[in-house]
């Protein structure tokens, strides 16, 4: 009997160890979940992934019918009609604000001074401005400070169009800019993406289509620039930027001009019918690959 009880106890102890081992082993579902976790898609030095540009709280909606100060955080303002102003139209002064103009016009009465703004954003984050038509302000959209804001699907006419200073990790995409002085201007900006924009002239064109000054680690890609009065894309004291897949046509001076700007990448761009397609002055170590250059005599070369 004692031997039988001993055997029972040994079997019970072994069974408990077996069950304990099964409990601690990861399930097949858990292993599957770990292995299927997507890789981090950040862009490192070149800026944030487009999908990571903003992280916003839920927004309530408010109708908007006049130029005003937008000061309610976590709010989506929806413009219901065209508006005009003799001064700055919209000042966005809180974080996580969306201004959706729904295709309506902000009209500024042909002001030449750059301090009259269609939309002004100072030291804010999580801002989105979309579907606005901004015409004849000194500056169409001014962003100073802050980070992770979005300007997309806007049309700007006859302004100094978009100015961004000391602001990082923004996204400027799919805008149409016509007859601006300088269409998109980044000053001391980092990690910003500028893509899908169309810049054109009607009465002389912008001095520069896209200008980067003292700006680093930005991505400028898939933009179309037609007929700049000076340069299609201009870099000054800027480094570590990637310029790719842009189409720059018929600038009066240079297609792309590097001035005191080094260690940038220029890849897969098409530069057509310029006095000179690419100019480097006091610049070095810019990497160029697979750019198509169409000369004034229609000769095609690759650089």
- Domains belonging to the chain, first-starting first, are 70-302 (2.160.20.10)
**pTM for the whole thing?**
0.81
pLDDT at 103: 98
**pLDDT beyond 70 at 277:** yes
Percent of the chain topping pLDDT 70: 79
**pLDDT beyond 60 at 2:** no
Distance CA 155, CA 253 (A): 26
**Res. 111 pLDDT band, cuts 50 70 90:** low
Residue with more model confidence, 31 or 128: 128
Distance CA 83, CA 57 (A): 28
pLDDT at 182: 85
Residues 6+ apart with CB under 8 A from 74: 56, 57, 58, 59, 60, 96, 97
Residue with more model confidence, 154 or 43: 154
Residue with more model confidence, 269 or 35: 269
For the chain, the straight-line distance linking the first and the last C-alpha, in angstroms and rounded, comes to 93
Report, as an integer, the average pLDDT of 199-208.
Answer: 71
pLDDT at 56: 61
Structure tokens at 108: 């500024």
Mode of pairing for the β-strands spanning 254-259 and 276-281: parallel
Choose the weakest-confidence range: 9-13, 67-71, 96-100, 114-118.
9-13
């Amino acid at each position: 009997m004692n031997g039988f009880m001993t055997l029972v106890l040994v079997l019970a102890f072994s069974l408990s160890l077996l069950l304990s081992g099964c409990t601690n082993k990861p399930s097949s579902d858990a292993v599957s979940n770990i292995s299927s976790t997507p890789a981090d898609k950040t862009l490192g030095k070149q800026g944030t992934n487009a999908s990571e540009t903003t992280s916003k709280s839920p927004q309530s909606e408010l109708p908007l019918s006049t130029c005003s100060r937008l000061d309610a955080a976590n709010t989506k303002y929806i413009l219901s009609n065209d508006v005009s102003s003799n001064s700055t139209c919209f000042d966005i002064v809180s974080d996580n604000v969306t201004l959706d103009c729904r295709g309506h016009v902000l009209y500024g009465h042909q002001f030449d001074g750059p301090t009259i703004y269609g939309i002004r954003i100072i030291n804010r984050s999580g801002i989105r401005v979309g579907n606005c038509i901004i015409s004849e302000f000194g500056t169409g959209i001014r962003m100073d400070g802050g980070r992770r804001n979005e300007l997309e699907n806007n049309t700007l006419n006859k302004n100094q169009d978009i100015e961004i200073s000391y602001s990082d990790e923004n996204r400027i995409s799919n805008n149409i800019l016509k007859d601006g002085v300088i269409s998109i201007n980044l000053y001391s900006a980092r990690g910003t993406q500028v893509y899908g924009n169309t810049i054109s002239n009607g009465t002389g064109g912008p001095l520069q289509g896209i200008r980067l000054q003292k700006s680093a680690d930005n991505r400028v890609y898939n933009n179309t620039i037609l007929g700049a009065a000076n340069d299609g894309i201009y870099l000054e004291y800027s480094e570590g930027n990637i310029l790719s897949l842009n189409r720059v046509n018929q600038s009066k001076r240079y297609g792309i001009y590097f001035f005191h700007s080094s260690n940038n990448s220029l890849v897969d761009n098409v530069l057509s019918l310029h006095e000179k397609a690419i100019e480097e002055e006091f610049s070095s170590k810019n990497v160029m690959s697979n750019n198509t250059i169409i000369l004034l005599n229609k000769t095609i070369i690759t650089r």
